[in-house]
């Protein structure tokens, strides 16, 4: 126990024989944790004369911030977009399973659905911290139904919506509530979208541009009305969201645009599953704007299940090998990838560093959501949500608030 009991009686854990991801470097030093937060060892030693109650030998592992998945539709037979009486149980089941993939926080994602689905599902799941029961819930990601019919992808067209007069009022009619919502994906070219973006931003909700067909000027205007952070590409391979054209680079051009106002940061999601995104597209996006790249799984019901037919919202999905298609078509619909798979594939095909691959799954999504002071970093005072990995970036153990919640082989 620390000798200065006035500071805290809580036990101190020291992680030794490890390399810590901090300030974009892998630093060979120990990590100290108390009461779920990372400690400054200098203050511990010199101000408190404290010492460790427990030591964890990491065996040379890399310690990175816990992964954050901001776009996951379900998994292991659970579809978050299916209205039922036990939605919360399904979310909890997936939350427990994704611990083995290094995910410590996530945003359950609902795809385009009729209003009654939102009204049934949203009230059942609240933002909450993670622990031995599973990864923490950071809030819902509502992907649709306010998206472009031209670029709808796997979203069922009959449920797509445009903004009626009143904008946010119409959005509220569809969703029922914005409590416990972290991200809303919409198409910026829909009439009335600019005022909706502004009002969502004022409520602290991140706006994502997805499944749309917009000129660079229009997209830039959307960035201008949302302060602080902005999610530019939702559900992309870059080319799938909008075609790149030399006279109108559209959403892709936004990554290097000089129209981004000072103080704004553009983040963009990439599904690095080897299916959705061509390796060349991953390399281009990373080299154009590495600090904004956010890895997402876009995982669906079939993640963790054998090939066959499954559901995604109002659609039937067929799994063929590693591909998830809308049944009877060749339209890709989500993925069956896990976050650790995406991290490994991203590093392999992009040529990025280990640090960059890990930050794309931790720091960047935390910055996107505006929670990086607490999540996504291993700074002093940050939450001790950790993932231990070997040299091949395979997950060895997962910790939430400094407590082990999953370990390989146990």
Residues placed in the known binding site for Zn(2+)? 143
Q: Which two tokens stand for residue 366?
A: 């935390």
3-class DSSP string for 267-300:
EEEECCCCCCCCHHHHHHHHHHCHHHEEECCCEC
φ and ψ at residue 319, rounded to 5 degrees: -95, 120
| Separation of alpha carbons 60 and 253, rounded Å | 41
Q: Classify strands 229-234 and 395-400 as parallel, antiparallel or unpaired.
A: unpaired
| Separation of alpha carbons 346 and 309, rounded Å | 28
| Separation of alpha carbons 288 and 141, rounded Å | 26
Closest by CA to 388, choosing from 19, 34, 11, 137, is 19
Kindly report the number of other CB atoms within 10 A of residue 93's CB atom: 17
| Separation of alpha carbons 37 and 289, rounded Å | 31
Kindly report the number of other CB atoms within 10 A of residue 408's CB atom: 12
Burial class (CB in 10 A: 0-12, 13-18, 19+), 100: middle
| Separation of alpha carbons 307 and 303, rounded Å | 10
| Separation of alpha carbons 65 and 318, rounded Å | 34
| Separation of alpha carbons 352 and 343, rounded Å | 11
Closest by CA to 131, choosing from 398, 362, 363, 364, is 398
| Separation of alpha carbons 303 and 153, rounded Å | 19
Dihedral sign (CA 345, 397, 378, 126): positive
Q: Which residues are catalytic?
A: 298
């Amino acid at each position: 126990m620390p000798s200065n009991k006035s500071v805290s009686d809580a036990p101190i854990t020291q992680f030794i024989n490890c390399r810590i991801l901090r300030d974009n470097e892998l630093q060979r030093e120990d990590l100290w944790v108390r009461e779920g937060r990372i400690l400054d060892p200098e203050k511990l030693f010199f101000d408190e004369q404290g010492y460790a109650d427990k030591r964890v030998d990491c065996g040379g592992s890399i310690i990175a911030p816990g992964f954050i998945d901001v776009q996951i539709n379900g998994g292991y037979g659970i579809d978050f977009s299916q209205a039922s009486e036990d939605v919360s149980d399904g979310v909890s089941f997936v939350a427990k399973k994704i611990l083995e993939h290094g995910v410590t926080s996530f945003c359950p994602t609902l795809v385009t659905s009729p209003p009654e689905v939102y009204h049934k599902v949203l009230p059942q799941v609240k933002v909450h911290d993670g622990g031995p029961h599973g990864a923490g819930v950071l809030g819902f990601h509502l992907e649709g139904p306010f998206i472009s019919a031209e670029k709808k992808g796997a979203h069922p067209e009959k449920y797509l919506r445009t903004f009626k007069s009143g904008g946010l009022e119409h959005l509220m009619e569809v969703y029922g509530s914005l409590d416990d919502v972290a991200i809303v994906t919409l198409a910026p070219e829909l009439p009335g979208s600019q005022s909706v973006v502004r009002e969502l931003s004022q409520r602290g909700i991140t706006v994502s541009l997805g499944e749309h067909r917009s000129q660079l000027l229009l997209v830039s205007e959307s960035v201008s009305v949302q302060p602080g952070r902005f999610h530019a590409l939702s559900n992309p391979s870059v080319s799938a969201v909008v075609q790149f054209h030399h006279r109108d680079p559209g959403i892709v051009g936004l990554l290097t645009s000089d129209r981004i106002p000072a103080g704004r940061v553009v983040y963009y999601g990439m599904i690095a599953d080897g299916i959705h995104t061509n390796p060349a597209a991953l390399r281009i996006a990373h080299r154009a704007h590495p600090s904004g790249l956010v890895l997402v799984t876009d995982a669906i019901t079939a993640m963790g299940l054998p090939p066959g037919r499954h559901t995604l919202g109002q659609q039937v999905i067929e799994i063929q090998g590693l591909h998830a298609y809308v049944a009877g078509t060749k339209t890709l619909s989500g993925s069956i990838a896990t976050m650790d798979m995406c991290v490994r594939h991203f590093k392999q095909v992009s040529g990025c560093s280990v640090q960059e691959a890990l930050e794309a799954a931790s720091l960047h999504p935390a910055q996107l959501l505006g929670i990086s002071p607490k999540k996504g970093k291993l700074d002093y005072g940050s939450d001790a949500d950790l993932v231990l990995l070997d040299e091949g970036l395979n997950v060895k153990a997962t910790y939430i608030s400094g407590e082990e919640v999953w370990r390989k082989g146990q």
